[in-house]
Amino acid sequence: MLVYTGSEKSVAKILQKYNDNENLFMMERYLVMKKRLLCLALVFAMTATQAMPVAASGRKQEIQAQKSQTQSKLSEAESQVNTLESKKNALMGQINSTQQELVTIMTQIDMLKEEIKDKETDIKETQEDLKEAEADRDEQYESMKKRIQYLYENGGTDSWAQILLESDSIADMLSKIENNGKMYDYDREALEKMKAIVQEVQELENKLITEKAELEDSKKEQEDKQDSLETKMTNLKASASDYENQIATVKAQAQEYKNLIAQQNAELQQIQKEEEAAAKAAEEARRRAAAQAAQASNSSSAGSSASSESNTGSGSVSSGSTSSAAVENTESSSVSSDAGTDSSSDSSSSESAGSGSSGSASYDSATGSAVVAYASQFIGNPYVYGGNSLTNGIDCSGFTQQVFAHFGYSLPRTSDAQAYSGVGVSWENHRAGDIIVYSGHVAILTGDGGIVHASNSAPYPQGGIKYTSNALYRSYIAIRRIVQ
């Protein structure tokens, strides 16, 4: 039971003051709780808005790793395309050079066919001349036989007696005897001339036949080269086609990688937009929560001011207000927004081409005459197409190559290539030791208008390594001086 020592009015004031303090205390507790709830709501909102950037950041790193792998594969594909293109270009160069060589060979074969045709015509004409010469020889021989037969049948002592009787004088008799002697001499000379003509025509026929055989061997050699080049051309074209297919396949793969990179870039851009939108939303939520917290803080401050006017409970209210402000500051300072940036780099590859240098062979002090003397010692040895032995068998270009190699000179293996060796000279200025190149054939000039060379495969002297007196027995392509 309460005992009042004052008036009722004083008691009522005390009760009213107690009730007012109690209300203020309850209001301050409400404001503090509201402020704390607002801070928690702010933290929850910021956490929720940060959940999406964290997930997006993981996906972003995954796509960036995938993009890096794709770029690496693209670089490898592009490098492979460049390598295949280089190989294909090299093959195309070989195809072009092989085509040019093939055209040259085919042209030489046509020239050889024409030369063989001309030789056949010359042989036919020579055979006809031989028949005429043999007919003239036989006719002359028959006439001489008849005269000799007449003289023998009508000869003896009666013939000489008849000359003596029919002669008017000794001078007339001697003249008749001299005429008979001249007739004998004429017949003999005529017969010898006819024999010489027949022999000359026969030798010409044999020479033309030998030259025709050489041309046919050269033609066969060029035809073999043509077959080899055509086979090479077929293989090169097949390889080039294979490279084209490989290049098309790798280019298709590279295009797929490019498309994939474009998709990955688009996805990264979308993630970047989502991150920016999330950061913007988080900032907006933070601002709204901060505004609400500031409003609650103002309300709490107003309550604290009202309670400070009273004498009871003001300290606790102020303490509560201070604690809530500290909570607000702590919560707001713990929230931050980070924006990630994506940077990607493309790798590039470079190729370097090595350059080679080739030195030219130096000539020694050998003389053309020494070359001819060395080459001539092998005359009589056999001819073998594709052979490389000066004693056991060799062909024309192998012969010149081996002879000049003895003196330290390096010549190509084929006659076509030897046409570009050394220095070109004219027929008028040629000398011993120069090489003369025909269509599909090559020989060494001896300086006297002849040549020493490895001819066709017929037995020597028609074939093999031999000397031919007329170097211009057929048209030539070039004369080259190897020994300077």
- At residue 435, φ and ψ (nearest 5 deg) are -105, 145
C-alpha distances in Å from residue 281, one per residue of 224, 265, 292, 484:
85, 24, 16, 93
Q: Minimal CA–CA distance to 52: which of 302, 274, 342, 338?
A: 274
> What pLDDT score was predicted for residue 45?
55
Rounded CA-CA distance 305/302 in Å is 5
Collapsing DSSP to helix, strand or coil, 169 comes out as coil
* Number of other residues whose CB lies within 10 A of the CB of residue 150: 10
pLDDT at residue number 382: 94
Contact 268, 63 (CB under 8 A): yes
**Of all helices (H) and strands (E), which one includes residue 90?**
helix 8-153
Position 274 confidence tier, pLDDT thresholds 50, 70, 90: confident
Note the pLDDT tens digit of each residue in 466-478. 999 999 988 899 9
Provide the pLDDT confidence category of residue 212 given band limits of 50, 70 and 90: confident
Residue pair 134/195 in contact (Cβ under 8 Å)? The answer is no
**Residue 382 per-residue DSSP state:** P
Whether the per-residue pLDDT at 353 is higher than 80: the answer is: no
Q: What is the pLDDT of residue 213?
A: 86
Structure-model confidence comparison of residues 337 and 298, the more confident one: 298
The C-alpha angle with vertex 276 and arms to 275 and 282, in degrees rounded to 5, equals: 85
Q: How confident is the model at residue 413 (pLDDT cuts 50, 70, 90)?
A: very high
What is the C-alpha to C-alpha distance for residues 308 and 29, in angstroms, rounded to an integer?
15
Residue 316 has pLDDT above 50, yes or no: no
Q: Quote the tokens at residue 33.
A: 């709780």
What pLDDT sits at residue 427? 94
Show the tokens assigned to 141. Answer: 């021989």
Q: Cα-flanking dihedrals φ and ψ of residue 452, to 5°?
A: -115, 130
Task: Tell the CATH superfamily of the 368-481 domain.
Answer: endopeptidase domain like (from Nostoc punctiforme) (3.90.1720.10)
Q: How far is CA 156 from CA 152, 160, 168, in A?
A: 7, 7, 21
Model confidence pTM above 0.85? no
Indicate if the pLDDT at residue 72 is higher than 90: no
Span 377-384, average pLDDT: 95
**Cβ-based burial of 313 (10 A; exposed 0-12, middle 13-18, buried ≥19):** middle
Confidence band for 390, pLDDT divided at 50, 70 and 90: very high
Whether the CA torsion 45, 49, 51, 54 is positive or negative: it is negative
C-alpha span between 25 and 46 (Å, rounded): 32
The lowest-confidence range among 36-40, 422-426, 435-439, 475-479 is: 36-40
Distance separating alpha carbons of residues 305 and 287, to the nearest angstrom: 27
The pLDDT-based confidence of 447 (bands split at 50, 70, 90) is: very high
pLDDT digits (tens, 9 = 90+) for 180-189: 666 667 777 7
Average pLDDT over residues 430-442: 94
Q: Which residues contact 348 (CB under 8 A, 6 or more apart)?
A: 75
Contact 438, 108 (CB under 8 A): no
Contact call for residues 366 and 483 (beta carbons, < 8 A)? yes
pLDDT for residue 56: 64
The gap from C-alpha 131 to its chain's centroid, in whole angstroms, comes to 61
Residue 323 neighbours by CB under 8 Å, 6+ apart: 32
Which helix (H) or strand (E) covers residue 454, if one does?
strand 451-454
Q: What's the rounded Cα separation, in Å, for the pair 109 and 439?
A: 8
pLDDT at 302: 57
Q: How confident is the model over 75-86, as pLDDT tens digits?
A: 888 888 888 888
Name residue, tokens 């293989």.
Answer: 235
Q: Which CATH class is domain 12-331?
A: mainly alpha
Beta-carbon contacts of 257 under 8 Å, excluding residues fewer than 6 positions away, are: 70, 71, 73, 74, 77
Average pLDDT over residues 197-215: 86
Q: How do the domains of the chain map onto residue ranges?
A: 12-331, 368-481
pLDDT tens by residue, 35-55:
666 666 555 555 555 555 556
Q: Is 473 helix (H, G, I), strand (E, B) or coil?
A: coil
Question: Per-residue confidence at 338, pLDDT binned at 50, 70, 90?
Answer: very low
Tell me if 375 sits within 8 A of 366, measured CB to CB: no
Is 252 buried (19+), middle (13-18) or exposed (0-12) by CB count in 10 A?
A: exposed
